Amino acid sequence: MTSPAKVAVVMGAAGSGNMGQAIASRFIADGMTVIAAGRSTEELRAFADRTGAEYGAADITSEDELAALFECIAQRHGGVDVAINATGSGLLVPFLDMTGEQLEHVTRLQFIGSILFYQAALRVMRDGGNLVQISSATATIMLEDHAAYMGTKAGADHVIRTIANEFGGRGIRANSISPGFTDTPMTARAAANPALVAAFEQEYPLGRVNTKEDIANAASWIVSDECFMTGQNFQVNGGLTLRRNPRNAELAAAVRLARAAAK
């Protein structure tokens, strides 16, 4: 008898061409029933039309919207097997310039929202299911002017470990994936500058920065039945954490040199 397709929810898939959509597309190729989720109904509908995914709009910072999303999925499919949190807000602000409003926004999105998402998912998750947090190499190594982003990602990683410990008895696994610099809508401006990309690339032992597909491929294996790991942070970043991110002064110098060479 053929096993029914796994039901996967990918939160953060409401941005055209973003990492959440790359993961959702890979899960569809793997034969899963995928529900793409996020705030923009229009973009989710467009993605669903292109790929055959289902979709559901919900704000990750809203407990009520998350509950409604997962209750609807549970009614339709009987439960959830995989829940991925691929949301993020790339705040780049010097430490002393961060405002309370900015800090509250990032904290609600990347820390409080993450917990609310895990809670809603776990309430309808079948035994043997999987939670995955898309984190960041900067939760481990430094990048200047990125404190709120880095701190909340690191906090969410530790929450993932507590979930792995508490729900392992049900066969539920919880892990994080930490990309490095990746060309996504969130980094589009920097990724369009070859000098900036080159400055990052030289810090990667494998010689290139991340692609969205690197993360989608890793997620595919982590949620598979072949993966016997939980409570881990998978550093899917070409060895970046063996080295470091470039300093702001080095990035500025790389851009200046590129401009001078182009004249």
Whether 246 maps to a domain, the answer reads no
pLDDT of residue 2: 61
Residue 29 CB coordination number (10 Å): 12
Looking at residue 181, its pLDDT comes to 96
99 CB-contact burial (10 Å; exposed 0-12 / middle 13-18 / buried 19+): exposed
State the CB neighbour count (10 A cutoff) for residue 259. Answer: 10
Domain assignment of residue 115, yes or no: yes
Maximum pairwise Cα distance, the chain? 67
Contact 88, 186 (CB under 8 A): yes
Domain count across the chain: 1
Distance of CA 256 to the CA centre of its chain: 32
CA distance 195 to 191: 9
Contact 61, 11 (CB under 8 A): no
71, part of any domain: yes
Residue 255 lies in a domain: no
pLDDT for res 234: 98
- Asked, for residue 133, whether it belongs to a domain, the answer is yes
Query: What's the angle, vertex CA 93, arms to CA 139 and CA 196, rounded to 5?
Result: 75
DSSP letter string, the chain: -PPPPPEEEEET--STT-HHHHHHHHHHHTT-EEEEEES-HHHHHHHHHHH--EEEE--TT-HHHHHHHHHHHHHHHSSEEEEEE---------GGG--HHHHHHHHIIIIIHHHHHHHHHHHHEEEEEEEEEE--GGGTS--TT-HHHHHHHHHHHHHHHHHHHHHGGGT-EEEEE---SB-SGGGHHHHT-HHHHHHHHTT-TTSS-B-HHHHHHHHHHHTSTT----S-EE--STTGGGS-PPPHHHHHHHHHHHHHHH-
**Dist CA 246 CA 186 (whole Å):** 19
Place of tokens 């953060």: 12
**Quick check: is 141 in a domain?**
yes
Query: Residue 205's pLDDT is what?
Result: 98
The gap from C-alpha 219 to its chain's centroid, in whole angstroms, comes to: 10
Instruction: Render each residue's pLDDT in the chain as its tens digit; 263 residues.
Output: 567 899 999 999 999 999 999 999 999 999 999 999 999 999 999 999 999 999 999 999 999 999 999 999 999 999 999 999 999 988 999 999 999 999 999 999 999 999 999 999 999 999 999 999 999 999 999 999 999 999 999 999 999 999 999 999 999 999 999 999 999 988 988 999 999 999 999 999 999 999 999 999 999 999 999 999 999 999 999 999 999 999 999 999 998 988 888 87
Asked whether the beta carbons of 214 and 179 are under 8 A apart, the reply is yes
CATH number of the domain to which 34 belongs? 3.40.50.720
Q: How far apart are the first and last CA of the chain?
A: 67
Assess if residue 232 is contained within a domain. Answer: yes
| In a domain? residue 126 | yes
- Phi then psi for residue 209, to 5 deg, are -80, 170
The domain in which residue 163 lies consists of 7-186+209-240
